[in-house]
């Protein structure tokens, strides 16, 4: 019964020879490896990279010093150090691989320090202007400049391409300038967020006058404008270095100096302009709703399908360069019963060791439902191949994966259908760099692969996109108005209220308990069943289990359980999609891993499993049982401020990489928590915003990654999102939680809310949301039980799932 450790503080170190694993050298090295494998080489004209041995280089840009290891909010991590680009290349200089110009080092370091002291957020600083003397001195040292740019975003706010419409909480639109926003205490987003700032444009423009060769390093967490370097032949190389955790600067140096051959591939489409993404129109129209009018045509599904949009792409989904070349040959392709199977030979024909990602796509007949031109079906990454070495990879997927959901009854309502016609298959290294296979799957009649029931019907989505770029109208209706208690009418007053506030009242309740109790350990040892144990809990004890509990130890996101008289430990939770998040004042350093998007760009399931397992060991060592990761939301728009916490625009990549992370975490008997379920693709006013989307888009795009994770990795917990889905809060949505998640997918774990939701606790319990974090409202639950709006069986079912989760932990 190792779960009993949660009764005690602190834990013993889990490393060898009594050493701690948290922030250990082994974990930091794994973080560096993952960062290097997730970097994507976008451009390499004239093979300027890797840098020749001993090459002199000049680092330009404040981002050479101001390295952004990851995003803000729950994705932040307290670390012992961070290596920036300058640090990483200086280490390579000590190995005689490059020579780095030092003349700008102190200038940039002092500038960044002063900006931060003045209150500037990371990467919100302005690019400084260099004097002519600085330019001349740098150019005398080398003809090659490495220009470093960084971007930062975080939880609770979205990115901007420039100053845009602002919205007050009553929905009134205003147009404000920077000065007015500052006076109101509002956050001011720099003009250069998605696009280059004027200062950055000046840096890049001036650098062309002084340097023959220019290389760009992008330290970013999400998509930014790429046209300025895509269209400029004088910029010879671009390395998308993402946000690589605490060793990101050294990992980038590994790539530049060929200690690692780049093998990362894009998990998003880089279009020419922000307005080329269909989600851009309307993204900031309202702070109270988002209309998903592009429907299933998200990311490459849009650009590959809608007429005239393919030429609007700079770098396609799945794209990434290497320092070597690979010969790819299809050895065998066949359909066996209900599966498509393909064997592909991958041979390294270059002079440097490397890895390649093989991607399998399919094309379904457009039929009456309309389909994307291509959809990812499967992928595999090779091991590290030495020159002239070969590996055969196997790709396969079930034919039913090609079915589409009919939500309006064009063929068979509320069913997944493979329409009659020809299904084609493609193998390649990006969605555009593919070759069609010989095998064609032909259906003579429509095949209903699965019959379901209507769920999540939209009521205020006016129209949705079709495969030809036109729109079809949808039936609309009004939402049912729900009268909520006064406490929920002014939710801002609840923000930050900790469970401790209600803890004294709990002690009063516990004084009424009987002197002899059954303990949870009796269930673990097989002495009694869980049902018998729950029958031994009174109503007050049951409802207290459905809310968060006070923090203990180093935890800062509260816990679950916490009934000493019945031997129920208080199990702590922790933030951290990019690593275990412990507040700085605790004095504990952990490992900052690459951001989620970067991990996805590795396309390496086994590597992600290792990261998950290593991170979970740190969670366990600090006496925490539930890790609030991975983030599973779709990159619907480049403007979502939290995209760095999520994997991809594609649900198959998100699901496969997310499943690998969950498997790694739970291999250590720590609970993973895929989040935010579901359709949380915008941070602005996220606790009140309504995501309006069709049932088909929900099932095929925004729920699909979660479905893959549930069926492949069996996560022990899932976190619901703040937002509403077609008018109903996700945590109150019975169709989402009971009908789809548990009924259709077979999920049998625990569901938690996100922290301090605006939904009502008793409605969440009725929907199948087991626990309300960071604290519950037991008095409200008791009142609704007495008034008959809540059933004791519903309470017991939720409590049972909470207790079953605790028994799984170590």
pLDDT at 75: 86
Tally Cβ neighbours within 10 Å of residue 726.
Answer: 23
CA distance 646 to 577: 9
Residue with tokens 């049912």: 480
**Rounded to the nearest 5°, which phi and psi values hold at 304?**
-80, -20
Kindly state the tokens that stand for 89. Answer: 């290349």
Q: What's the chain's average pLDDT?
A: 92
Strand partners, 339: 336, 398
β pairing state of 421-428 and 471-473: unpaired
CA distance 277 to 153: 19
Kindly state the tokens that stand for 617. Answer: 């060991």
pLDDT at 513: 42
pLDDT at 509: 45
| Nearest alpha carbon to residue 567 among 342, 807, 289 | 807
pLDDT at 491: 38
Tally Cβ neighbours within 10 Å of residue 452.
Answer: 17
CA distances from 803 to 373, 416, 533, 713 (A): 46, 35, 10, 20
Tally Cβ neighbours within 10 Å of residue 544.
Answer: 25
Asked if 754 is an active-site residue, the reply is yes
pLDDT at 70: 95
Strand partners, 725: 691, 728
Q: What is the pTM of this model?
A: 0.94
pLDDT at 162: 53
Residue 515 CA to its chain's centroid (Å): 47
- Low-confidence residues in the chain, pLDDT < 50: 163-190, 486-497, 501-515
Task: Delineate the domains of the chain, giving CATH numbers in brackets.
Answer: 21-291 (3.40.50.1700), 300-473 (2.60.40.10)
**Cβ-proximal residues to 482 (8 Å cutoff; 6+ apart), any chain:** none
Burial of 13 from C-beta contacts in 10 A (0-12 / 13-18 / 19+): middle
| Nearest alpha carbon to residue 803 among 456, 576, 631, 571 | 571
Tally Cβ neighbours within 10 Å of residue 531.
Answer: 10
SS3 letters for 483-528?
CCCHHHHCHHHHCCCCHHHHHHHHHHHHCCCCCCCCCHHHHHCCCC
pLDDT at 504: 47
Strands (E), 221-348: 237-240, 270-271, 289-291, 313-315, 326-336, 339-348
Of 225, 407, 739, 754, which residue is the catalytic one? 754
Burial of 566 from C-beta contacts in 10 A (0-12 / 13-18 / 19+): buried
Strand partners, 238: 43, 216
């Amino acid at each position: 019964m190792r779960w009993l450790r949660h009764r005690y503080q602190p834990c013993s170190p889990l490393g060898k020879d009594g050493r701690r694993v948290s922030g250990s050298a082994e974990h930091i090295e794994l973080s560096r490896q993952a960062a290097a494998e997730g970097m994507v080489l976008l451009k390499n004209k004239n093979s300027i990279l890797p840098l020749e041995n001993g090459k002199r280089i000049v680092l330009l840009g404040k981002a050479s010093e101001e390295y952004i290891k990851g995003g803000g909010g729950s994705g932040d991590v307290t670390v012992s150090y961070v290596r920036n680009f300058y640090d990483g290349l200086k280490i390579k200089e000590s190995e005689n691989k490059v020579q780095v110009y030092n003349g700008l080092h102190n200038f940039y370091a002092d500038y960044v320090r002063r900006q931060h002291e003045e209150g500037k957020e990371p990467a919100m600083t302005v690019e400084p202007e260099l004097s002519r003397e600085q330019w001349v001195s740098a150019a005398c040292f080398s003809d090659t400049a490495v220009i470093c740019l960084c971007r930062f975003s975080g939880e609770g706010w979205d990115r901007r391409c420039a100053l845009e419409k602002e919205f007050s909480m009553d929905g009134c639109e205003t147009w404000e300038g920077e000065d007015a926003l500052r006076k109101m205490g509002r956050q001011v987003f720099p003009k250069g967020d998605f696009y280059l700032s004027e200062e950055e444009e000046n840096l890049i423009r001036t650098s062309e006058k002084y340097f023959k060769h220019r290389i760009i390093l992008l330290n970013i967490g999400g998509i930014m404008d790429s046209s300025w370097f895509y269209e400029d032949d004088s910029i010879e190389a671009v390395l998308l270095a993402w946000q690589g955790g605490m060793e990101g600067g050294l990992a980038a140096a590994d790539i530049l100096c060929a200690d690692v051959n780049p093998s990362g591939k894009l998990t998003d489409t880089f279009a020419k302009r922000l307005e080329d993404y269909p989600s851009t129109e309307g993204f900031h129209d309202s702070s109270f709703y988002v209309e998903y009018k592009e429907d299933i045509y998200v990311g490459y599904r849009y650009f590959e399908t809608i007429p005239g949009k393919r030429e609007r792409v700079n770098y396609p989904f799945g794209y990434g360069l290497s320092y070597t070349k690979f010969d790819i040959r299809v050895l065998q392709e066949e359909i066996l019963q209900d599966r498509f199977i393909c064997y592909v030979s991958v041979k390294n024909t270059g002079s440097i060791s490397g890895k390649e990602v093989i991607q399998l796509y399919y094309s379904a007949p457009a039929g009456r439902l309309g389909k994307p031109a291509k959809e990812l079906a499967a992928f595999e990454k090779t091991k590290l191949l030495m020159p002239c070495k070969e590996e055969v990879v196997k790709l396969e997927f079930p034919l039913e994966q090609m079915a589409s959901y009919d939500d309006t009854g064009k063929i068979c309502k509320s069913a997944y259908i493979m329409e009659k016609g020809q299904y084609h298959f493609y193998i390649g290294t990006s969605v555009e760099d593919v070759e069609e296979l010989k095998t064609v799957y032909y259906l003579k009649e429509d095949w209903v692969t699965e019959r379901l029931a209507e769920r999540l019907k939209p009521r205020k989505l006016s129209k949705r996109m079709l495969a030809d770029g036109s729109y079809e109208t949808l039936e609309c209706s009004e939402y049912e108005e729900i009268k909520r208690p006064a406490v929920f009418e002014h939710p801002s007053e609840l923000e930050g209220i900790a469970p401790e506030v209600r803890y004294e009242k709990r002690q009063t309740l516990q004084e009424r308990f009987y002197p002899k109790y059954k303990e949870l350990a009796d269930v673990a040892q097989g002495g009694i069943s869980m049902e018998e144990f729950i029958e031994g809990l009174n109503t007050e004890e049951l409802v207290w289990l459905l809310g968060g509990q006070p923090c203990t130890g180093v935890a800062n996101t509260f816990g679950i359980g916490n009934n000493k008289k019945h031997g129920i430990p208080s199990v702590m939770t922790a933030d951290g999609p990019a690593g275990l998040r412990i507040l700085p004042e605790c004095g504990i350093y952990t490992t900052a891993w690459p951001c989620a998007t970067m991990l996805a760009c590795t396309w390496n399931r086994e590597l992600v499993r290792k990261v998950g397992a290593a991170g979970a060991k740190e969670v366990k060592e600090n006496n925490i049982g539930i890790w609030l990761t991975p983030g599973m939301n779709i990159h619907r728009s480049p403007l979502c401020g939290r995209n760095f916490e999520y994997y991809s625009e594609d649900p198959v990549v998100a699901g496969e990489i997310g499943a690998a992370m969950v498997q790694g975490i739970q291999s250590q008997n720590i609970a993973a928590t895929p989040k935010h379920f579901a359709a949380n693709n915008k941070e602005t006013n996220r606790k009140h915003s309504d995501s309006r989307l069709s049932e088909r888009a929900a099932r095929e795009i925004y729920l699909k990654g979660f479905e893959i994770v549930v069926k492949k990795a069996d996560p022990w917990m899932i976190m619901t999102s703040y937002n509403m889905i077609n008018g109903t809060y996700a945590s109150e949505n019975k169709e989402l939680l009971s009908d789809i998640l548990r009924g259709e997918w077979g999920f049998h774990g625990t569901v938690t809310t996100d922290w301090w939701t605006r939904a009502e606790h008793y409605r969440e319990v009725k929907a199948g949301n087991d626990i309300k974090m960071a604290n519950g409202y037991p008095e409200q639950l008791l009142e609704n039980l007495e008034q008959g709006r809540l059933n004791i069986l519903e309470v017991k079912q939720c409590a049972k799932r909470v207790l079953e989760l605790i028994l799984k932990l170590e």
